[in-house]
Amino acid sequence: MAYYLGQNVAQNYSLATEYLTLACDLQDSDCCGLVGWIYLRGLGGTQNNELAVKFYDKACALQNNFACRSFGTMYLRGYGVSPNHALAAKYFAQSCELQYGPACIDLARMYEQGQGVEQNESTAAEYYAKGMGFMTQEERRKFFNEHLSQNQNASPKQEELQQLQRDMEVLREFNLESEFGRNVLQIQSNPN
C-alpha cells in the first residue's frame, strides 16, 4: 500500500501492483480492488482492461462492496467490457447488499429507467431509501451536490428536472431537502 500511496517511499505503481497482487492472492479484497483500479486507470502506464475485470471480479467475489460497484459501473458504461446493463444491475445489487449506498442509488436509477431490469418505480424507491440509509448525512450531501453539479452543467431537460424532483422526494425523508431544493428551484427558473 505504501508504494501505491507514496507513503515513506517514492510512489511506484509497478511495485504497488506487485505487492497488492500478492496480498490479493492471500484473499485481501481491498488489495484485489486496488489492483483492478490500477489496471483500469492505467496507473503507471499499464492499462489492461482484461486484468481490471479479473481483479474486480475477484474482489467482488470476496465481498468488497466498492469493487462490486466499480465492476457494475464498468458494465454500465462499457469501460473495458461490452456494455451489459443486466450485469451492471447484478453487481450494483451485490454491492448494495454489502451496504454500499451509492450502489443502491445506481440500482434505483436502473429500476427507475428500466435498464437491465424491469422498470419498477416502487422497487426504485426502495433502493433509493436503502442507499440513503447506508450513507452518513455528509455522504448524502456530497453525493447529491455532485449529482446536481453534473445536471447543472448540462442544460436541464424535462426528464432531468423530473429526476431531480424525484430525488428531492427521497431527500425530504432524510431532512436534506433545503439545499437540494434551492438548486432545483434555481434550475426550474433557469431552464436554458
* DSSP calls for 11-30: --HHHHHHHHHHHHHTT-HH
**Is residue 6 a contact partner of residue 18, using CB atoms and an 8 Å limit?**
no
Assign domain 73-134 to its CATH superfamily: Tetratricopeptide repeat domain (1.25.40.10)
Output the pTM of the full model: 0.71
Domain ranges for the chain: 1-62, 73-134, 136-192
> Class of the 1-62 domain?
mainly alpha
Residue 120 is inside which H or E element, if any?
A: none
How does pLDDT run along the chain (192 residues), one tens digit per residue? 666 667 777 877 888 889 999 999 999 999 999 999 899 888 888 789 899 999 999 999 999 999 999 999 999 999 889 999 999 999 999 999 999 999 999 999 999 999 999 999 999 999 988 998 888 888 877 777 776 665 555 444 455 555 555 555 555 444 444 444 444 344 444 444
| Spatial distance between the Cα atoms of 86 and 88, rounded to a whole number of angstroms | 5
